Structure 1
Amino acid sequence: HIQCDMSDDAGPILMLLSWLASCLMVIGVALPYVPQYQEIQRSSNTEGFSTRVCLVLLIANILRIFFWIGKQFELTLLLQSVVMILTMLAMLHLCCSVQNTNSVSTKRHRLSDLDPKYFWKWNVFEDYLLFCFGLSALCAMVTTLLLDSAVFVEMLGSLAVMFEAMLGLPQLLQNFHNRSTKGMSVKMVLLWTAGDIFKTSYFVMNQSPSQFSACGSVQILIDVAILLQVLFYSQDRHLKLG
């Protein structure tokens, strides 16, 4: 009887913890970008943020939504994708506003120019929205035709998480190219890392499709590499100033 009572008491607590974990999964994806958003607003400088991160995450989460259509996993992960897409669009909108304010050139690069050299370097936010709409329409058409194919659905999921796993790579490469992590802080990267560790643990505990756990593991490794860059370049900057 005692064991039964303890089990009954634990039930609501476990449900509450599960609900809190789901909420953190949905909202938590946006939290690491809050300090970066505030820093760009404060400094009116986008140098420390790579918009390629937005490109990678937008593609990954649009693909993940269509993966969910073919293989219904947790609703939490679907909502997470929606929140991430909105977050990346907010970051792009801010970057466009800041860059247009700071730009001394009257020449604007548009999606309609079809110039590969300026792909994802457009000056108008609506072009990014148009790109997302076009990608979504293409995915919808292909998914409708191949929805009954289990191989296609699994490949779609693998492609989605492969893009997501690489999300830190543009930032890593930009830091290496600039020999600087200006606009980034240890606190910011630790937030990214903590979020990815929590996310990966959630995938494992909830037995999400294996693609998600693999993605989380790769993201943690890239986060650690970026953290080492922040520590190294900040130390190097202090030595030069000294």
Structure 2
Amino acid sequence: METEGLEWLLVPVQQLVSWGAAGAMVFGGVVPYVPQYRDIRRTQNAEGFSTYVCLVLLVANILRILFWFGRRFESPLLWQSIIMIITMLLMLKLCTEVRVSNELNIKRRSFAAADSKDEEIKAPPKRSYSGKGRTKKD
């Protein structure tokens, strides 16, 4: 009799735990990338992030989705793959933008440095009109 009285509470708690576990499974793989994404965006430096890791995770999750079409498995694993693919694409987009921006800044700096050297070379030589202190004959 007591189990029937607690059953109205036990079923929703089990359902809640099940949803919580599924949510943790779906979003658990993405959690480590959130601070990394914020750090890369804040510092504009993607040096410590490997794009090969993104490649491996993209291939693995795409294969998991393709396997799902052949043999169905639990839907939280399918959603985990979809969320992870989206996360990896966002990370790759951010890293690409940061690296391209940094490379452009380096090229601009080197171009500006080369340009200033050209200006120094193109500057006309200083001439002494008094005839004193002349080092070169024109």
**TM-score (norm. length: structure 1):** 0.42
Structure 2: distance between partners of 1:68 and 1:7: 35
**Residue matched to 1:41:** 41
Structure 1: distance between partners of 2:9 and 2:34: 37
Is it true that 1:26 corresponds to 2:29 in the alignment? no
Structure 2: gaps spanning 5 or more residues: 109-138
**Residue matched to 1:102:** 102
Is it true that 1:6 corresponds to 2:6 in the alignment? yes
CA apart distance, 1:105: 5.0
**Residue matched to 1:68:** 68
Structure 1: distance between partners of 2:107 and 2:49: 21
Structure 1: distance between partners of 2:64 and 2:5: 41
Structure 2: distance between partners of 1:4 and 1:73: 33
Tell me how many residue pairs correspond in the alignment. 106
Is it true that 1:77 corresponds to 2:70 in the alignment? no
Structure 1: gaps spanning 5 or more residues: 107-242
Is it true that 1:50 corresponds to 2:50 in the alignment? yes
Q: Which has the larger radius of gyration?
A: 2
Instruction: Tell me the amino acid that sits aligned with residue 11 of structure 2.
Output: G
Structure 2: distance between partners of 1:105 and 1:96: 16
1:55-204 aligned within 5 A: 55-103=55-103, 104=106
CA apart distance, 1:28: 2.5
SS at match of 1:72: coil
Structure 2: distance between partners of 1:105 and 1:25: 44
Deviations 1:207-240 (A, max 9, x none): xxxxxxxxxxxxxxxxxxxxxxxxxxxxxxxxxx
Instruction: Tell me the amino acid that sits aligned with residue 79 of structure 2.
Output: L
SS at match of 1:45: coil
**TM-score (norm. length: structure 2):** 0.72
Deviations 1:101-153 (A, max 9, x none): 010359xxxxxxxxxxxxxxxxxxxxxxxxxxxxxxxxxxxxxxxxxxxxxxx
**What fraction of aligned residue pairs are identical, expressed as a percent?**
51
Structure 2: distance between partners of 1:5 and 1:43: 57
Structure 1: distance between partners of 2:47 and 2:102: 12
Structure 2: distance between partners of 1:16 and 1:10: 10
Structure 1: distance between partners of 2:9 and 2:79: 30
1:216-227 aligned within 5 A: none
CA apart distance, 1:49: 1.0
Instruction: Tell me the amino acid that sits aligned with residue 15 of structure 1.
Output: Q
Structure 2: distance between partners of 1:30 and 1:46: 18
